[in-house]
Structure 1
């Protein structure tokens, strides 16, 4: 399980797919004059608004600090934390040096937060108390490289202090390495102090040393200190370049004012070089030379603004290249006829379009461009190629690398496979996309017929990973030895290396995403592609069955269900679902509109001016065209717990639902939340919900029409609307059981302080085994609402989900 923190509403991974994790710094009485003035005026609503604004502008975590002379820090901080619990989706960072304040906030907060901070300034007294609290409440901790001699200035001292803190936190208090975020501290390079000329160098090297010497630990940095004392516009660009350097050195998280960070793609190479000269003290002969050159250079410049005269000078080749990079398909038809006067169509593709798409891939890999814009670029590429095709000779290019793509048997998910298709085909490769639910026999047959150079297999489910593993021997016995690329959410490098590689005669490579697949294809062309290898880690002794979490109460009353058995609901208003759509998960996760290296104000404009209108347009379209047709099969059934199994009684028959147990503390298992037969038994709720098949048909149409951006938008929208339907129906069931804070059918909020119980989706972290769909289908009979089951126990349509509803007041989300 990836190290994460969480709020009441969502979990956030500490190691972002595109680093760094962004920690908003403005809700801080020491760092923000505006926040401090509001705090002194006791305007806590306005203080909360500052935290909410940071969240809306892309901060993953919100730092909260109320320490100020003459104020009651304990009262102020606990009051603000209580307000944030129900008002912020983003998790919080408790920023205090007072253990009493930290512990009080940890007791209040329902999720997993970060403590800022610990150090060795007092010789180790406070760190032990705070680590004890972090262990008790499951918090992560920022660790500053400070000891009794003061703040560490050199990389070696930063590592020495980090190791001392590690010994206390991990060895003594048994925190996990991933619970620690080491702040290597940085000092300004803008003061002219000769002793600080290498401050950036020491900080970056400190990050590298800690990541190398303390594996598993994370790193964080208060970014803006690097530019203290310089002019605001120069600080902005220096901070942005320094952040990029720190991420390359291994930085996982940054405490920043995100509004003052520029995307690196908008910083000219000349600007970057001047900043790098200062950061790395290059050409440093003579006192302050890089600093003075930096100050002079930025004294009269408008940072980040393009010289309009340069745009006029662009050649047609440059115009087409930038149209692809910028995703501008409206003007591509104007420049292509000009280029065709001087170039053959195939030369335009190979010399301009393909290099442009490769540049897009490089920008994506650096975090300088977002996935939706990659797809827009692919649409430009597709449109340009379609324009050129009628003028090209119909000859087969024997030198083009060919890739066969398929989603494996029983798996209906195609979004990941299709993204690979888009990326590869628009980088000049020939792709044979043979669809979903493809069996090994068909893959072998198609490989013999089409003679591809590589095979790419995709699958979302754990069961799909097993199918990949089991089919490797079939491919070997069929005489295949070409490279096989494996991708999907359930796969890990360890699984591929240990379970798939040994069973096949050729290279087997794990690909984490579409661009990893592109890299693998290029490595194959270069002759450097090799099978995935994994260095096995030491694994603890498995937990014995039957061990339960002792802190779970066994005295809770069992609610009275409104009925026993199964019912259908086939008339639901789709408009009830939209207030429950998790737009952050949609915009950032499904659609890929992450802030990445974008400035906070630029990201806010992107969301408000581009993303929100797309979302609202999809809502209107889905209602006008009937794309969302919610239907439900659900019911309540007597049950009882028997170790890790919940025995469900249906019409005199018992259906066992076996659930896994966490191997680490607190060793939770879903069965723990149900009473045993000796304790009087219990009640379990189950549901299967779907938004129908129309949505899947429309996403398929968009993909076939090469409308890649629209395809991604609608597919992501449909998945989050399906989850909103699950949350809505969970609210209905809580209301029927008398444990909900509001009646969803009356328009009330489903998220309240009285929210009791949890829904655990089958196939998700707490109950990943899809085999339980067999008994679930036998008594919920969802075929009537158009839902069927594949051989891999996956539900069709794809926009369908299922869950067990647990009423226990201590039930919470967890992963095994």
Structure 2
């Protein structure tokens, strides 16, 4: 006798003569908005009508699910099982994760039902209980390939878990192989996730393996997952093609809306091939991957006549997920109000919002989404959480991993730290961002007060890296053992591994960017986080003594300085600076609008249609609102070099600048570009420029308001305007020294000389600011120094101007 299920009125074979068995999916509180609303209104008769409609549209079996937060599932499910039993010819699939509900329904159902579903997520506790009930009442069981490690992704894991379930259900509990319908699970091929490009193939191979290695067992599939995230009309076609391919692989049953499956013969051959390219991960010709070709192909297709049918509507969960993906805040309150009726707020965060943000992070890591759009997604996450927080119990909000973030003592830079805060907090972590210039003692105190699980330290320049290194023993002596993440431009894996890891007993981890911090936090939760290691074989060897440096010709004439000493300039017109802004550095570097995997034309449209208008708006607003207050302290001073030192004479005193020399050829050092005392001495120019602190206050307001995208845009703009001011003033100084190179805004010839910013690659030691401040006195334009020799406001930069014809930019 063929394996069958039955209602009060008829039996239905599980293996249809023309497969598959179609299981109607719309009488489900999780998959149908209409069914859910009727259930909430206690309108059982209308709920029954949806089940009847599914039967009339060709479903062989009706899936019935009433699970909903705040509802009495036992009452709802047993009531509807009784109604369906009396009214439906089609047998029922009782869809619940609660053994008590399953047993109660099997007890009252007059036919042979299917139970949906069991798995090994809890090690087999519920599996054994449900299988014993199925044996007692003669039911079939859907078994999902899930174990304690999660959902099986590969065909190997799918068959392994299926065999483990088979051993328990058949050998222990006494079910027959034909009583088991294995759901190999499928994942969307529409997300762009590289790990899911073979999802359809893995599922089909899993079906083949189960059919061949577990004789007698059947297979079932929740079909629509394959197309999650794609347009409704494209989903219908892809689902239909996938169903055909899965049946060819051995699929016996599919949970689907039968009315929305298109016979393969009615699908145009070109449509089928585009779908098969995506399902089988066929690259084909051209640069576009199968997903991009699929999306572009169906973007021009008109929706089917019944596009507005409920089957094509996205569920509320899908809508919220897509809101995060799209960075769209409109309508969030209504979506969350609906979801709160079904789920606890903490479950909405953990099961929808956090997975959406992590998917955004994965796409960013693959270059498929740009940083500004990541921040827009983070804004949606932040708003959603704030709307849910009033409904959360305090205990729920205290269960997440807690991370303390700080910029180290003496360091005023916070953009890196704040980006880490944004990414971590919007991926479900509790972040304590305690600010900039934080002493070690305060960090230790706050880490203990908040009982944090991890610490993240940030610092931009070399001095900050040394502070991190020197602070490690203090954290150890304070009894801390939590992982410490270190990030900043001056850090390297070698420095962290050799200078920081040995001085602390917990893991010390180098994080190159915010997403590296996220990966570290995830590894901590998984128990796989390790301290940063470094391969000694790749270490750069130090310069050997006695190596001859590059010869610099110092026979050049010394230019006549227009004055000797220091002067202030406080009337710089901001409009003079915008033509000197490096747009590539701003758009691609500061803002993150890189081409990545976009086509050239698509990228051009992004820049011209979105980025440049934003840039223009910031220019206009910065002038209209008075955000920019450019000021300069500069001067020319007599000087002479002595090996790696430059001795500057100012106000009757000598001020010594010691510059580093390159460890490899051509072994350059800034001091080489200035004449020695024996050669008659030289002249050096210096400047400190700032655009003031008004714009810094505007940036801080945006961050406090959780306007992450606008925060990044304005901060990046402020940095590049500061650099433009430095270039503008360097041009003025070249002109005053008669070095040529520009006439107003027009470059007339290749200019002579170079400027070297303190704290940058040619002279990274910020201790040079101490003698610089002694004779330039930039306090007069509102600039001060931290104990780490960094300048405040952050939108400030300094430099030495060398006039030598051979002076070029370099790094040590």
Q: TM bucket by the smaller chain?
A: 0.5 to 0.7
1:725-758 deviations in whole A, cap 9, x for unaligned?
A: 00000000000000132244xxx23x44231111
TM-score, structure 1 length as denominator? 0.63
Partner of 1:786: 782
- For residue 302 of structure 1, give the secondary structure of its aligned residue in structure 2: helix
Aligned to 2:63: none
Which whole-Å CA distance do the structure 1 matches of 2:346 and 2:607 have between them?
Answer: 38
Aligned to 2:297: 302
Question: Where does 1:77-476 land on structure 2 (aligned, <5 Å)?
Answer: 271-272=277-278, 276=282, 302=297, 313-476=313-476
In structure 2, list runs of 5 or more residues that go unmatched.
1-272
Name the SS of the counterpart of 1:555 in structure 2. coil
1:542, 1:787 → 2: CA distance?
A: 37
- Does structure 1 conserve the Cα–Cα contact (< 8 Å) formed by 2:278 and 2:294? no
1:226-285 deviations in Å (ceiling 9; x for gaps): xxxxxxxxxxxxxxxxxxxxxxxxxxxxxxxxxxxxxxxxx9985455554669xxxxxx
Instruction: Give the match's secondary structure for 1:347.
Output: helix
Structure 2 CA distance, aligned partners of 1:368 and 1:269?
Answer: 21
Tell me which structure has the larger Cα radius of gyration. 2
Establish whether residue 815 from structure 1 lines up as the match of residue 811 from structure 2: yes
Contact in 1 for aligned 2:640/2:674 (Cα 8 Å) = yes
2:804 is equivalent to residue 803 of structure 1: no
Aligned residue for 1:771?
767
Which residue number corresponds to residue 141 of structure 2?
A: none
| Conserved? CA contact 1:731–1:743, under 8 Å | no
Residues 741 and 463 (structure 1 numbering): CA distance in 2 closer, same or farther, change over 3 Å?
Answer: same
Q: 1:407 to 1:298 in 2, by over 3 A?
A: closer
Q: Could you tell me whether the CA contact under 8 Å between 1:548 and 1:669 is conserved in 2?
A: no
Unaligned runs of 5+ in 1: 1-266, 280-290
- 2:542 and 2:487 map into 1 onto residues whose CA distance is 29
Q: Residues 346 and 740 (structure 1 numbering): CA distance in 2 closer, same or farther, change over 3 Å?
A: same
**Alpha-carbon separation, structure 2, partners of 1:580 and 1:377:** 32
Change (3 A) 1:544 1:655: farther
How far apart are 1:512 and its partner, in Å?
0.7
The change in CA–CA distance for 1:752 and 1:408 in structure 2 (over 3 A counts) is farther
For residue 544 of structure 1, report the CA deviation from its aligned partner. Answer: 3.5
Q: Distance in 1 between matches of 2:794 and 2:275?
A: 45
Shift of 1:662: 1.2
1:729 aligns with 2:729: yes
**What CA distance in whole angstroms lies between the structure 2 residues aligned with 1:357 and 1:269?**
28
* Alignment partners' CA distance in 2, 1:788 and 1:335: 49
Equivalent position of 1:489 in the other structure: 489
CA drift of 1:718 comes to: 0.2
> Is the contact made by 1:548 and 1:672 (CA closer than 8 Å) also made in structure 2?
no
Contact 1:687 1:802 in 2 (8 A): yes
Q: Distance in 2 between matches of 1:707 and 1:488?
A: 23
3-state SS of the aligned residue for 1:385?
A: helix
Q: Say whether the 8 Å CA contact 1:731–1:740 is kept in structure 2.
A: no
Conserved? CA contact 2:549–2:665, under 8 Å:
no
Q: Aligned runs of 1:36-51 on 2, under 5 Å? A: none
Q: 1:762 aligns with which of 753, 758, 764?
A: 758
Question: For residue 705 of structure 1, what is the aligned residue in structure 2?
Answer: 705
Cα distance in structure 1, aligned partners of 2:338 and 2:282: 40
Shift of 1:542: 1.3
CA deviation map 1:440-490 (0-9, x unaligned): 000111111111000000000100000000000000011111110111111
Question: CA 1:685–1:770 in 2, change beyond 3 Å: closer, same or farther?
Answer: same
Check whether the contact 2:275–2:294 (CA below 8 A) recurs between aligned residues.
Answer: no
Judge conservation of contact 1:406–1:438 (CA < 8 Å) in 2: yes
Kept in 2, the 8 Å contact 1:770–1:793? The answer is yes
Change beyond 3 A, Cα 1:652–1:352: same
* 1:661 to 1:774, Cα distance in 2 relative to 1, 3 A: same
Pick which of 389-398 and 447-456 moved more. 389-398
> 1:376-414 CA distances to partner (integer Å, 9 max, x unpaired)?
000011111222223333435443100000000000000
CA contact (8 A) 1:545 1:643 kept: no
Conserved in 2, the CA contact under 8 Å of 1:732 and 1:743?
Answer: no
State the alpha-carbon separation in 1 of the partners of residues 493 and 387 from structure 2. 41
Check whether the contact 2:740–2:749 (CA below 8 A) recurs between aligned residues.
no
Q: 1:300: how far off? A: 13
Is 1:539 aligned to 2:532, yes or no? no
Q: Distance in 2 between matches of 1:742 and 1:399?
A: 62
Q: Calculate the aligned-residue CA RMSD, in Å.
A: 2.4
Q: What displacement does 1:553 show?
A: 2.0
Q: Within 5 Å, give how 1:642-657 maps onto structure 2.
A: 642-657=642-657
Closer/same/farther in 2, CA of residues 350 and 807 from structure 1, 3 Å limit: same
Q: 1:513 & 1:307 partners in 2: Cα distance?
A: 43
The residue that corresponds to 2:156 in the other structure is: none
Report how far residue 313 of structure 1 moved. Answer: 2.7
The answer for the alignment partner of 2:549 in structure 1 is: 548
Secondary structure at 2:762's aligned position in 1?
coil
Shift of 1:554: 1.7
Which whole-Å CA distance do the structure 2 matches of 1:800 and 1:525 have between them?
40
Secondary structure in 1 matching 2:572: coil
Equivalent residue, structure 1, for 2:606: 606
Deviation at 1:342, TM superposition (A): 2.7
1:176-217 superposed Cα distances (whole Å, 9 cap, x missing partner): xxxxxxxxxxxxxxxxxxxxxxxxxxxxxxxxxxxxxxxxxx
- Taking structure 1 as reference, are residues 320 and 306 closer, same or farther at Cα in structure 2, changes over 3 Å only? farther
Write the distance in 2 (CA, Å) between the matches of 1:780 and 1:272: 65
Q: Aligned equivalents of 2:453 and 2:315: distance in 1? A: 37
Q: Distance in 1 between matches of 2:282 and 2:701?
A: 48
1:72-91 Cα deviation digits (max 9, x unpaired): xxxxxxxxxxxxxxxxxxxx
Partner of 1:521: 521
Whether the 8 Å CA contact 2:565–2:637 is kept in 1: the answer is yes
CA offsets, 1:157-184, max 9 Å, x none?
xxxxxxxxxxxxxxxxxxxxxxxxxxxx
1:306: how far off? 7.9
Mapped partners of 2:342, 2:540: distance in 1: 63
Are the aligned partners of 1:549 and 1:672 in contact in 2 as well (CA < 8 Å)?
A: no
Separation in structure 2 between the aligned mates of residue 637 and residue 545 of structure 1, nearest angstrom: 32
CA contact (8 A) 1:268 1:304 kept: no
The equivalent residue for 2:15 is none
Deviations 1:481-515, CA, capped at 9 Å, x for gaps: 11101111110000000000000011100111111
Post-superposition shift, 1:805? 0.4
1:715 to partner: Cα distance: 0.3
Would the alpha carbon gap of residues 398 and 736 (structure 1) be closer, same or farther in structure 2, given more than 3 Å must change?
A: same
Q: What is the distance in 2 between the residues matched to 1:763 and 1:268?
A: 54
- More off after superposition, 648-657 vs 782-791: 648-657
Q: What is the SS of the residue equivalent to 2:384?
A: helix
Partners of 2:474 and 2:447 in 1: how far apart?
Answer: 13
Structure 2 length-normalised TM: 0.63
**8 Å CA contact 1:648, 1:656 repeated in 2:** yes
Tell me the CA shift for residue 633 of structure 1.
0.3
Say if 1:546 and 1:643, in contact at 8 Å, map to a contact too. Answer: no
